[in-house]
Structure formats: structure tokens, C-alpha cells
């Protein structure tokens, strides 16, 4: 079966998206890949098609149990033999997965990075014919990244212990130049294809507002989009509960999602939202990674995120079908205090030395400053985001609140000038 036949049979598409085919060809030829592709660009297909066409099994390193469960469920719905190995499996379920991998039944196995160095998994890896290791959310390997996870540093050790080195594909949606360098070095990529598809999402309208009464403006935005599907991000679980409760009292079909809820409620709410049985999902950043719902028409950030990486990834849940969508950020001074508090909590990592924790704290402070600057600038918002990620931009996009405001003032002053 060819790559195009595989794309059509298992994923229902006749053509590849930009850069997908280039990445797939590199992996199939035996070359490592570092793919920086924005949310909605189809990163998963880039390693899933090679996994189906290569002999043996592909190991997909994924950071969240919920994420790997969702992805495996989606693959199985498409009749693709896939499984996951994590702490949610019983001993009997684990043995069954290993047996089916060794028999050649499963083509993809999703694992958490913490699992790679366990004795039972090392034993499994020695038996399996591993042709490809795909590292999802690869920015987690870098201490320069916004979601650094020390467990990702174990990936290269795991690979080095295998009898035959597999091909390595590293994928993430957002990465600065420092993070890219770290990914390549720490995962020990060999002559990789380095591909950045570009961070711009032209179909997304970006807006930052600083309303006197945030709740009033928020409900205006929701009511104006009552027939559309949207996601609302709040910084805290308490905020999610409050915003979701108020929406329901106003008759909006809203659901909530955060790590403080029972797993069953999260699963049911996510399934209802993906199945279009609810118009609005109110969530913390625990919701969204790996979620593929193409018809989200707007994303509202009720609070300012801690950094631009998180903001752009979360805002990018909108408009994955490439049709016009809107991204609103409602900013207030209180958001800065909340972001500072949350950053302090995320820095308490026992796996880091004091020196490393200080470095992470400085980096978090720097990223927060950049995020605040985004909320306060009067120039093009898209240009600011793209320049942050190392891309050039003219400085005027015509599709953000700053550019719309500048155009309006230009027309007004132009008419005044003509009159005089």
C-alpha cells in the first residue's frame, strides 16, 4: 500500500496538507525528523502513516494519559491497530498488549516517558521490533520550553539501550530557536530533516480587550455567537466552575473540564463537546492537547495565560477546518497576579536542582513579560506572535483588533483631512 492509499483508506483524505508528505518521505527513507507544525497542521498523520507502512512497531511518547487514550481511541475507530501502555492498565491488560505487539498485531503503542525506564517495559522493548520512535509534544524535553518535563530526558537513554537504533521523529506545535536546538541535542537526532511549516494561521482573528467589567463583555461575546461552537479558557479550576455555572444559569449549553473533576465527568464532557452536543467548553489548559474538533469557531481566554506558547496553542484550537475563526483575550491587571502565582507553583519540581529551578523561574518571568507585552501593545498582534517564534512579518495583518483599529482611525482621519 502506498502513502496516498494509506491516507485515503485510514484517514479519508485525498491530499496531504502542506509539509506532511515531506516529513513522511523523510521518515520512510530512514531519516530523523524535527517537525515544528502549528496546531491544526496534522502532525499526528506525519508519524502515523509511516508507522502503518514500516515493518515492526512504532513507539509514540506522549505526555498525558488522557491524550494517549484519546488518540488510540481515534485510531481504533479508523480500524488502525493501536494500543497504549500506562499506569491505567492492569497486569493482565499489559501482558495482552505486549503479546499482541510481539505478534505483530499492533502497529503503534503510545507510552508515557516515565514508563520507558521501567524494568518490564525495557524487557518488552528488547522483544519488539521498534522501527520508529515518535516524540509528541517534543518541546517538553527542553528546559527552555514552557512545559519542561524531566522525564522526557530519559527518551535518549531508552533509545540508546535498544539493539538497533530506530528512526526518531520529534514533533511539537510551538518552539523558539533555543527549544529547537535543545530538542535536536537532547534527543540526539542524527542529520534530521528540520521542518518548520510556519506559525501563521491566517484564518484566525486575534483580539485583545481590556474591558471595565470583564464578565459583562464576556457574556456579550458569548451571546453574539450563540449558534457557534467555542472554547473558553480560565486560569484556575475555580474560575472554570464559576464561568461555566453562570453560562448555564443564562441558558447556555456549557460544559466544564479541569483536572479537579472525576475522570468520568471529564470523559463524558469531552465526548459530548466533540460530538457537538454542547456549544461551549469552559476549561483550564488541561483541555485541548490532542483534541481535534474542526468546527470550533471561537476561543475566548477569560484570563491571560502564563506565556505566548500556551496562548497560541490554546487559541489554535479554533478554526482547524481552516475557515474563519476568532480568538479573544480579555485582559486585566489581576491576570498578571494569577499568572505569577501559577508560575511559582509550576516551578516546584523535585527532579530539578536549585540552580535549575532558578533558571526555570527566570525563564518563566521572561515569558510572562512577553505575554503581558502582547496584551498591551497597540501594533499588529499577529506580527508580535510570529516574531516571538522567529518569523518575519510586515507588521500589518488586517485581521487582528490592533490592525482593525488602526484602519478605522486611518479612515476617520483621512475623511477629516479631505474635508479640510
Q: What is the pLDDT of residues 314-340, one digit of tens each?
A: 999 999 888 999 999 999 999 999 998
For the record, the C-alpha cell of 185 comes out as 541535542
Asked which of 115-119, 154-158, 248-252 is least confident by mean pLDDT, the reply is 115-119
Looking at the fold, whether 369 and 240 belong to one and the same domain comes out as yes
Percent of the chain beyond pLDDT 70?
94
Looking at the fold, whether 210 and 347 belong to one and the same domain comes out as yes
For the record, the C-alpha cell of 72 comes out as 488510540
Residue ending a domain, choose from 148, 165, 196: 196
User: Is residue 130 in a domain?
Assistant: yes
Q: How many domains does the chain have?
A: 2
Looking at the fold, whether 189 and 208 belong to one and the same domain comes out as no
Q: What is the strand order of the sheet 280-283 is part of?
A: 204-209, 325-330, 298-301, 230-233, 280-283, 254-257
User: What distance, in Å, lies between the first and last C-alpha atoms of the chain?
Assistant: 71
**pLDDT value at position 12?**
85
d(CA 353, CA 349): 9
Q: What is the pTM of this model?
A: 0.80
Q: What is the strand order of the sheet 57-61 is part of?
A: 82-85, 108-111, 57-61, 130-135, 167-172, 33-36, 193-196
d(CA 65, CA 110): 9
Looking at the fold, whether 63 and 168 belong to one and the same domain comes out as yes
- Angle 40-399-330 (CA atoms, 0-180°, nearest 5)? 80
Looking at the fold, whether 172 and 263 belong to one and the same domain comes out as no
Q: Is the dihedral of CA 258, 262, 267, 268 positive or negative?
A: negative
Domain that holds residue 7: 3-196
Residue with the bigger pLDDT between 312 and 358: it is 312
- What is the rounded average pLDDT of the residues 3-24? 90
Confidence of residue 347 (pLDDT cuts 50, 70, 90): low
Amino acid at each position: 500500500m502506498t502513502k496516498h492509499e494509506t491516507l485515503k483508506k485510514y484517514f479519508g483524505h485525498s491530499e496531504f496538507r502542506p509539509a506532511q508528505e515531506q516529513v513522511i518521505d523523510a521518515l520512510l527513507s530512514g531519516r530523523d525528523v524535527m517537525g515544528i507544525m502549528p496546531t491544526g497542521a496534522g502532525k499526528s498523520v506525519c508519524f502515523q502513516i509511516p508507522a502503518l507502512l514500516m515493518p515492526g512497531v512504532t513507539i509514540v511518547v506522549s505526555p498525558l494519559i488522557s491524550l494517549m487514550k484519546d488518540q488510540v481511541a481515534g485510531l481504533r475507530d479508523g480500524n488502525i491497530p493501536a494500543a497504549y501502555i500506562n499506569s491505567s492498565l492492569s497486569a493482565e491488560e499489559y501482558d495482552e498488549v505486549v503479546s499482541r505487539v510481539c505478534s505483530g498485531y499492533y502497529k503503534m503503542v503510545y507510552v508515557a516517558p516515565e514508563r520507558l525506564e521501567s524494568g518490564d517495559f525495557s524487557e518488552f522493548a528488547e522483544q519488539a521490533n521498534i522501527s520508529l520512535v515518535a516524540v509528541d509534544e517534543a518541546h517538553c524535553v527542553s528546559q527552555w520550553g514552557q512545559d519542561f518535563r524531566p522525564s522526557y530526558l530519559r527518551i535518549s537513554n531508552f533509545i540508546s539501550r535498544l539493539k538497533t537504533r530506530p528512526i526518531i521523529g520529534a514533533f511539537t506545535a510551538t518552539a523558539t530557536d533555543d527549544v529547537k536546538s535543545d530538542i535536536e541535542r537532547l534527543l540526539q537526532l542524527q542529520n534530521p530533516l528540520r521542518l518548520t511549516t510556519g506559525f501563521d494561521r491566517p484564518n484566525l482573528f486575534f483580539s485583545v480587550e481590556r474591558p471595565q467589567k470583564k464578565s459583562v463583555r464576556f457574556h456579550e461575546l458569548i451571546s453574539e455567537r450563540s449558534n457557534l461552537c467555542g472554547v473558553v479558557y480560565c486560569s484556575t479550576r475555580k474560575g472554570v466552575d464559576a464561568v461555566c455555572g453562570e453560562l448555564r444559569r443564562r441558558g447556555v449549553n456549557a460544559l466544564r473540564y479541569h483536572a479537579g473533576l472525576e475522570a468520568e465527568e471529564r470523559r463524558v464532557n469531552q465526548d459530548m463537546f466533540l460530538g457537538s452536543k454542547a456549544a461551549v467548553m469552559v476549561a483550564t489548559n488541561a483541555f485541548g492537547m490532542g483534541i481535534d474538533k474542526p468546527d470550533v469557531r471561537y476561543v475566548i481566554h477569560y484570563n491571560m495565560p502564563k506565556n505566548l506558547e500556551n496562548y497560541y496553542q490554546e487559541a489554535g484550537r479554533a478554526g482547524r477546518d481552516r475557515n474563519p475563526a476568532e480568538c479573544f483575550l480579555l485582559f486585566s491587571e489581576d491576570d498578571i497576579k494569577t499568572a505569577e502565582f501559577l508560575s511559582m507553583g509550576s516551578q516546584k519540581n523535585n527532579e530539578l536542582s536549585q540552580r535549575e529551578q532558578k533558571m526555570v523561574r527566570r525563564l518563566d518571568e521572561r515569558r510572562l513579560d512577553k505575554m503581558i507585552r502582547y496584551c498591551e501593545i497597540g501594533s499588529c498582534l499577529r506580527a508580535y506572535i510570529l516574531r516571538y517564534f522567529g518569523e518575519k512579518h510586515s507588521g500589518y495583518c488586517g485581521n487582528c483588533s490592533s490592525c482593525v483599529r488602526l484602519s478605522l482611525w486611518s479612515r476617520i482621519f483621512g475623511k477629516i483631512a479631505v474635508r479640510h
